[in-house]
Each structure stands twice: as structure tokens, then as C-alpha cells.
Amino acid sequence: DGGTGPCRHLRVVLLGDSGVGKTSILRRFVEGTFDDGVDSTISIEQMEKEVRVDGQRYVLRVVDTAGQERFRSLRENFYRGTHICLLTFALDKLASFCNLSMWRQEFLHYARVPPGTLFPFLVIGNKADVTPKARAVSDVNVQTWCGANADVPYFETSAKQALNVEEVFVAAVRHFSLME
Ligand code: GDP
Ligand code: MG
């Protein structure tokens, strides 16, 4: 149902450590595919997808980052004009969760979000398909972090099993709309 109403364009950035599944989440969301043997140094820059949320059409331009040193100089260009930032970690890698604060700070800095301004962040714990034994991040820890950061909404996803991927983007649009 394409509809004929006005269409809003939103720029969404996926941030987080290398290997947490940013590119896989984007692929799953836009192409509906998953590749187990993907090279985590490869990023697809950006892809667009139209979604309909609460009767409104949106075109999401989702920007994927490689999170590598050589791209540091480009970060300002990546982050500027962003409407929503998805802070991503992997549920089986504690370090990737510990780095969320760093990614958040870096985004606020390079995107030039005025201090004291609320910005629509969401937290994604990806790889929810891993075995309970492999889980390295407790739900309480994530909830505490989110509570300390203006109640950032949190979603567990699995790009591999197509769990919650579409949902997280819809929630992101809603979160953005409410904060506007
Ligand atoms: P990026 O560096 O953050 O872009 O991460 P990638 O998307 O390149 O994924 C890194 C690795 O994690 C790849 O081997 C993916 O196949 C794997 N991966 C990504 N998402 C998931 C997931 O939801 N579950 C599992 N088990 N593996 C995943
Ligand atoms: Mg990638």
C-alpha cells in the first residue's frame, strides 16, 4: 500500500563495534537476506527503504559505518543531518556493550547535537539467536544503561533469524516522531 500522502525522509545511522552485525541488520531490513560468512570490514555505505508507520510514509536512508580508524575523518559527513541513531552491540560480546557510551558520545560530538538536547537514540542487542551460554550481556545491565541515558528504548534483534529487525526500525521512527 504505497499511498499518496506526503513522504518523510529520515536519515538513520547504525553505530557500534565492528562485528556486532550492523551490515547484517541493514541487509536483513532492506534485502531480507543474511550471509553467515560476511566480511565485517565491508560496509555498504547506505540503503533506502520505505516504511509505513501509523499511517505515515517514510523513506529511511540507513547509513552503515565500518567503524574503522581510516573512516574517522569521514564521520562528520556520516553523522551530520541524522535523525535517528541506532547504537548496536552483540549480545555475545561484552566489550561491544561497554563501548556504547563511547559510540554515543562520538555521535553527539560529530553530529554536533547541541549539549542538553535530547536525541533519538535506540539500543540494539543483536545476535539474540546465540545460545544462553554464549550470552555475555545481562538484561539488567542494558536496562540500567538505557535508564541512565534518558530511557533509550532497547531491542534484542537477530539479523540471522529475522527477529525484531523490521520492528526496531518502526520503533525508531515512532521514537523520533514523539521526540520531535
Ligand atoms: P558489522 O561489522 O557490525 O557490520 O557486522 P557484520 O554485519 O559484518 O557481521 C559480523 C559477523 O556477525 C558476520 O559473521 C555475521 O554473519 C555475524 N552476524 C551478524 N548478525 C548476526 C546475528 O543476528 N546472529 C548471529 N549468530 N550472527 C550474526
Ligand atoms: Mg559492517
Can you tell me the ipTM of this complex? 0.99
Q: Candidates 34, 36, 39, 40: which one to mutate for ligand 1, based on the most atoms within 8 Å of Cβ?
A: 40
Query: All 3 cell numbers of residue 102?
Result: 563511547
| Per-residue model confidence (pLDDT) at position 45 | 73
Q: Are the C-beta atoms of residues 9 and 97 closer than 8 Å to each other? A: no
| Per-residue model confidence (pLDDT) at position 123 | 98
| Residue 91: burial class (beta carbons within 10 Å; 0-12, 13-18, 19+) | buried
Q: DSSP alpha helices (H): ranges in the chain?
A: 22-30, 75-79, 94-98, 100-110, 139-148, 165-179
| Per-residue model confidence (pLDDT) at position 7 | 92
CA of 127 to the centre of ligand 1 (A): 7
Measure the CA–CA gap between 153 and 167, rounded to whole angstroms: 12
| Per-residue model confidence (pLDDT) at position 78 | 81
Number of the ligand 1 atom closest to the C-alpha atom of 43: 4
| Per-residue model confidence (pLDDT) at position 65 | 78
Helix orientation angle between 165-179 and 22-30, rounded to the nearest 10 degrees: 90
Q: Is 52 helix (H, G, I), strand (E, B) or coil?
A: strand
Q: Check if 162 has its Cβ closer than 6 Å to any atom of ligand 1.
A: no
Q: What sign does the dihedral 11-65-86-32 (CA atoms) show?
A: positive
- Which residues contact residue 5 at a Cβ distance below 8 angstroms, ignoring those fewer than 6 apart? 55, 56, 57
pLDDT tens-place values along the chain, 180 residues long:
445 678 999 999 999 998 999 999 999 999 999 988 776 666 667 899 999 999 999 999 999 877 554 556 677 878 889 999 999 999 999 999 999 999 999 999 999 999 989 999 999 999 999 999 999 999 999 999 999 999 999 999 999 999 999 999 999 999 999 998
For 126, other C-beta atoms within 10 Å of its C-beta total 30
- Global pTM reads 0.94
Q: Check if 40 has its Cβ closer than 6 Å to any atom of ligand 1.
A: yes
| Per-residue model confidence (pLDDT) at position 69 | 44
Q: Candidates 38, 65, 137: which one to mutate for ligand 1, based on the most atoms within 8 Å of Cβ?
A: 38
